[in-house]
Every structure is written in structure tokens, then in C-alpha cells.
């Protein structure tokens, strides 16, 4: 699959203007033909200095993007386990855990500091697998769909392209996440059930078979697909807006550190919206994985409109920070491995001519 996508990416209309900055640098030497005209000396210098380790859309590119997803999702979700634990407990037992600060207080009193780390192992494994599929497949589907649309339509419908690519990637990511998410919620929300993944997994399988690990996949799709669509589409368009309206110089003239700051800010903005759109489904998943024999519809009816919004403030803090850090780490991995990082898309020249925007 990667080889066919790589072949398409070399002629990818959505990314063609972006790749020019990589491979069309001015040629040196007396015998070499002159390179294409440049917009500025800074842009020319950046093109010369930038040497990527692989082609955009190549198999190596997709694999390293998947690795970036593992690092960004696995580490950030694991680091926020204490906040996630309190959030889950607020959702499944709001009478006992009345708020985020009360939740921490009660947890510390009953379980001590070590109790705040419950569920770290399934969190790390599950979200590492999810990150691999989420970020790796997003890049794959973005290339595939942009080639299907063509250069002009890919630009005009770029928000829809981001939404479709991220939804497709998340479909597979949640299948990878579901078993570990189910074990995590059992460990965190059922006192005395199990303290580790090694205890929880065999017990769950003995009680309910494979169903115990995958009964939450449909609610996960309900939660994660809207979340991921918002995460990627909002991030991409926010980055575009920041460089257009806020950053006082073109992206090509920004240092790597400055570009990563923009990435972090855009990630946090996207994270706030992600938390809001996906929170009701997150509440259903937490309760569903705690209880035996319940369906998503039954849980939703029992919680009601007010109940599904319990723990939203904690989740906004968690997801905002999480999303910002994930994008920052993911982009940093791309910088470290010298992967192509295309700038925000620009209107194709052919479309400018059609719209009468060229002189």
C-alpha cells in the first residue's frame, strides 16, 4: 500500500507546490543550469539548507510519521494518567468524586500517590498503537484523497479532505486502542478489580471473552472520530490562519523553533474544540467499560443530557494540553528525522487564472 501511495505522492497535486521548496533549490557550479526564480533570498537559502531524509509520501515517510504518532500519543497520554483517572471516576461515580480537586483529594486519601498511576500500562500500550494508526494513516489518506480530488479541488475542499483523511485513520486507530482502553477503565474505576494490566486482562477474558475488549469500540468511534476530525482539521486551518494573520513573517523565514511554537498554539486551540465535541461519547465509554451487560444506548439514556457533560472542565484541560503536546512532539519528530513538512497550501496557479487573480 505504501509503495502505491508513494508513487501517487510524487505527482500529488495537493502537495506539488510544497515540494518545490525541497527539490528545486538553485544549482551550484559553473556548468549547472540556473534554478527557477525565487521569491526572496531567504527562501532560496532555506531551500538550499533544507535537506530531507526521504521523499514526501514515500514508504519511509509514512513509517516515520507512524513512529512520531507512537511517541507523541504514548508519552502524552501516559503523562496525564492521574488527570485521566480522576476524570473517569467523576464520570462513573459523580456522587463520590464531586469535582476535579475533590477527585484528586479522595483518590490520594484512599490510594495514596501510587493510586494516581493506576492504568498507566494499558494507557501507554493502547495510545501508542492508536498514535501509530492515527498519524501514520492520516498522512496516507491525505495523499490518497488529494490525488483523487486533483490539484484545484484538493485546495478548494481542503477542510473536507482533512476531515475525511482523519476520520478514515481514526477508524483503524480505535480498533487498535479498544482492548487497552477497556482494561484501563476497569483498573481505574472499579476498586479491587485489578491493579495491573497483567491482572485485568486475563480476568476480563475469563468473564466475558473477547467481547470484554471490543464492546467499547463503537462508543470509541463515537468519541474518537469526531475528536480526531476536529483535531486535524482545526489544527491544519488554525496553522494556516496563524501564518496568514498573526505571524509577522512568512513560514519560510521562520526558524524551526518559531514554527514549533505555532504548532503548539494551534494544537491547544484545536484541543479545546476536540474536548467539547467528543465529551458526551467519552462519558458513555467510561461507564460502559465499567459495567457488565450494558449497551451504549442504555448508558446514554441513564446519564441524560446533564450527566454526559460531567467532567468536561477536567477534560478540556487534559485534551487541550494533550493535543498541543502531541502536535508539538509529532512535529519535533519530523524535524529530528528531517522529514518533509509542507507549508500551508497555497492556491494553484491554474485556479488563480480561472478566478482572474493573476495579472
Most confident listed range (9-13, 91-95, 116-120, 232-236): 232-236
Here the contacts of 21-29 (C-beta below 8 Å, separation 24 or greater) are 21/46, 21/47, 21/50, 21/252, 21/343, 22/47, 22/50, 22/52, 22/56, 22/340, 25/50
pLDDT of residue 92: 81
Q: What is the phi-psi region of residue 293: left when phi exceeds 0, alpha when psi lies from -120 to 50, beta otherwise?
A: left
Residue-wise pLDDT tens digits, 28-42 = 444 445 544 444 444
Distances from the Cα of 116 to the Cαs of 106, 108, 313, 342, in angstroms?
11, 7, 19, 40
The yes-or-no verdict on residue 337 having pLDDT over 60 is: yes
pLDDT of residue 29: 45
Lowest mean pLDDT among 77-86, 126-135, 241-250, 277-286: 277-286
User: Between 3.40.430.10, 1.10.3720.10, 1.50.40.10, 1.20.1300.10, what CATH number should domain 54-340 receive?
Assistant: 1.50.40.10
The yes-or-no verdict on residue 21 having pLDDT over 50 is: no
Distances from the Cα of 150 to the Cαs of 4, 89, 142, 289, 353, in angstroms?
17, 48, 12, 43, 16
The yes-or-no verdict on residue 285 having pLDDT over 80 is: no
Contact 80, 321 (CB under 8 A): yes
**Bigger pLDDT: 316 or 125?**
125
Burial of 210 (0-12, 13-18, 19+ CB in 10 A): exposed
The yes-or-no verdict on residue 257 having pLDDT over 90 is: yes
pTM of structure: 0.77
With CA atoms as reference, report the closest residue to 113 among 75, 90, 85.
85
**Bigger pLDDT: 98 or 176?**
176
pLDDT of residue 267: 96
Q: Give the confidence band of 292 by pLDDT, cuts at 50, 70, 90.
A: low
Helix 217-241 × helix 312-336 angle, to 10°: 60
Sequence-ordered alpha helix ranges (H) in 242-311: 256-290, 296-307
Amino acid at each position: 500500500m505504501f509503495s502505491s501511495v508513494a508513487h501517487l505522492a510524487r505527482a500529488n497535486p495537493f502537495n506539488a507546490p510544497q515540494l518545490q521548496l525541497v527539490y528545486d533549490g538553485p544549482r551550484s557550479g559553473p556548468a549547472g543550469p540556473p534554478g527557477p526564480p525565487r521569491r526572496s533570498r531567504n527562501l532560496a537559502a532555506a531551500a538550499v539548507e533544507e535537506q530531507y531524509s526521504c521523499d514526501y509520501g514515500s514508504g519511509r515517510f509514512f513509517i516515520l510519521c507512524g513512529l512520531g504518532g507512537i511517541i507523541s500519543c504514548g508519552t502524552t497520554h501516559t503523562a496525564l494518567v492521574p488527570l485521566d483517572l480522576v476524570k473517569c471516576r467523576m464520570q462513573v461515580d459523580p456522587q463520590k468524586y464531586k469535582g476535579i480537586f475533590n477527585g484528586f483529594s479522595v483518590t490520594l486519601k484512599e490510594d495514596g500517590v501510587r493510586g494516581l498511576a493506576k492504568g498507566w500500562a494499558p494507557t501507554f500500550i493502547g495510545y501508542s498503537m492508536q498514535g501509530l494508526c492515527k498519524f501514520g494513516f492520516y498522512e496516507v489518506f491525505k495523499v490518497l484523497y488529494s490525488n483523487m480530488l486533483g490539484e484545484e479541488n484538493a485546495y478548494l475542499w481542503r477542510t473536507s479532505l482533512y476531515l475525511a483523511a482523519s476520520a478514515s485513520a481514526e477508524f483503524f486507530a480505535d480498533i487498535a486502542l479498544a482492548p487497552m482502553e477497556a482494561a484501563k477503565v476497569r483498573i481505574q474505576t472499579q476498586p479491587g478489580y485489578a491493579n495491573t494490566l497483567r491482572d485485568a486482562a486475563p480476568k476480563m477474558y475469563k468473564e466475558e471473552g473477547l467481547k470484554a475488549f471490543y464492546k467499547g469500540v463503537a462508543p470509541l468511534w463515537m468519541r474518537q472520530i469526531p475528536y480526531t476530525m476536529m483535531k486535524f482539521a482545526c489544527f491544519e486551518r488554525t496553522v494556516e490562519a496563524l501564518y496568514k494573520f498573526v505571524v509577522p513573517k512568512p513560514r519560510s523565514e521562520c526558524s524551526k523553533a518559531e514554527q514549533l511554537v505555532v504548532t503548539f498554539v494551534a494544537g491547544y486551540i484545536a484541543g479545546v474544540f476536540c474536548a467539547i465535541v467528543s465529551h458526551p461519547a467519552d462519558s458513555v465509554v467510561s461507564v460502559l467499560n465499567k459495567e457488565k451487560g450494558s449497551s451504549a444506548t442504555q448508558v446514554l439514556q441513564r446519564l441524560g443530557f446533564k450527566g454526559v457533560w460531567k467532567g468536561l472542565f477536567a477534560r478540556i484541560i487534559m485534551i487541550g494540553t494533550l493535543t498541543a503536546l502531541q502536535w508539538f512532539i509529532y512535529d519535533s519528530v519530523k524535524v529530528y528525522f528531517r522529514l518533509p513538512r509542507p507549508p500551508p497550501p497555497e492556491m494553484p496557479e491554474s485556479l488563480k487564472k480561472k478566478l482572474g487573480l493573476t495579472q
